Amino acid sequence: MPFFIYRELREHSPGGGGRNYSTMKIGVVGCGAVGSYYGAQLGRTDAEVWFLLRSDYDVVRERGVWIHSPRGDWHARPQCAAHPEEIGVCDLVLVALKTTANHVLPELLPPLIGPHTTVLTLQNGLGNEAALARVIPARQILGGLCFVCLNRVAPGVIQHTDHGQIVLGEYERPPEARTFALAERFQRAGVPCEVTPDLARAHWEKLVWNIPFNGLGVAGIAGFDAVIRGEYPPQSGTPTGRCLPTDTLLADPRWAGLVRELMEEVIAAASALGLPVAASHADKLLALTRTMGAYRASTLQDFEKGLPLELDSLFREPLRQGQAAGVAMPRLQAMCRVLEKLTS
């Protein structure tokens, strides 16, 4: 039997053929760019997708969500709720709040959670699964790393610029059947998705790049000497007065050296936490990043738009975990001080 015949038969079988995955009820908490984009994508599978909305409630309820993308514009019509009680218990909850809003989780999540609900945080950096674990059982938690360029350009309007991959893992556990099934659902929704056997390691691997390029990209405003000394306003040296994209950082040997030192601190912290990353990766990442031209890491974009920076999850929590594992991380500590003062 040729495969196309099987596929045809299967896809129109009563009760579904080769894939099961009955209609899944999905709640999206945090309907900014990330939540709206991935929630709308999942709505392309056999899913009932609910958006929990505040300021955008009226617009999205009336007009749905538009995704503008170089791959084509498209439209989604999620169910809309202003309160989690209107949604009720879900099979899957996507958490895509800014991590600066994690304190509202104990208020928003409980109505959505039953004993079989899976909660997937798509938030940046470290500590978000742990924040969920203070509200729901750890075994219900997954984390996803997003590699995507998105902007919420207006209520209900998301600009997708590039990419979209998700790397999915279980919180403090190896992958399970549901991990692979969810990855498969994302794939069916058009979202390239991989499963990582070790979510903590995946987070740290991402941080090796994100901490220097997201951090120095903004802290660089203060000038090199200030970033080294952890002071702002600078007592000496020259503030650059502007965010520094990757090519600017790498064109200056002093900044490039600091990028490498930060990478080495993060690698040392990861290794101390039992997540070994080869020291040679710093060189490799520097070389790869040189191929990218003037890349503006997401923190730069947030800062320039006046949005709050996710300092805790991207910088302070890695610093805390590294220091708790006995790695001093002085460069990261100084950079954190500058970022705090720049944004306070």
Binding region for a second copy (CB under 8 A): 1-6, 8-10, 12-21, 145, 147, 163, 165, 167, 174-177, 179-181, 183-184, 194-198, 201-202, 205-206, 208-210, 213, 276-278, 281, 284-285, 288-289, 292, 295, 297
Cβ 6 to a second copy, closest distance in Å? 6
Give me the sign of the Cα torsion angle 30, 31, 34, 39.
Answer: positive
Helix H or strand E encompassing 152 = strand 141-154
Cα 212–213–215 angle (5° rounding)?
Answer: 65
50 or 204: whose CB is closer to a second copy? 204
What's the closest the beta carbon of residue 16 comes to a second copy, in angstroms? 8
Which residues are known to be catalytic? 206
For residue 104, what are the contacts with CB-CB under 8 A and spacing of at least 6? Answer: 97
- Taking the complex as a whole, how short is the minimal distance between the CB of residue 143 and a second copy, in angstroms? 13
Q: Which is nearer to a second copy, 236 or 291 (CB)?
A: 291
C-alpha–C-alpha distance, residues 291 and 284, integer Å = 11
Pair 110, 46: CB distance under 8 Å: no
Q: Cβ contacts of residue 296 below 8 Å, gap of 6+?
A: 217, 243, 245, 246
Q: Distance between terminal CA atoms of the chain?
A: 67
Nearer to a second copy, 81 or 199 (CB): 199
Looking at beta carbons only, is 8 or 107 nearer to a second copy? 8
Residue-by-residue DSSP string for 81-142: ESSHHHH---SEEEE---GGGGGGHHHHSGGG--TT-EEEE--SSSSHHHHHHTTS-GGGEE
Q: Measuring CA to CA, which residue among 86, 49, 63, 28 is closest to residue 155? A: 63
The nearest distance, CB 295 to a second copy, in angstroms, is: 7
Q: Judged by CB, which is closer to a second copy: 92, or 297?
A: 297
Backbone Cα Rg of the chain: 21
**Is the CB of 97 or the CB of 314 nearer to a second copy?**
314
Distance from C-alpha of 225 to C-alpha of 235, rounded to nearest angstrom = 9
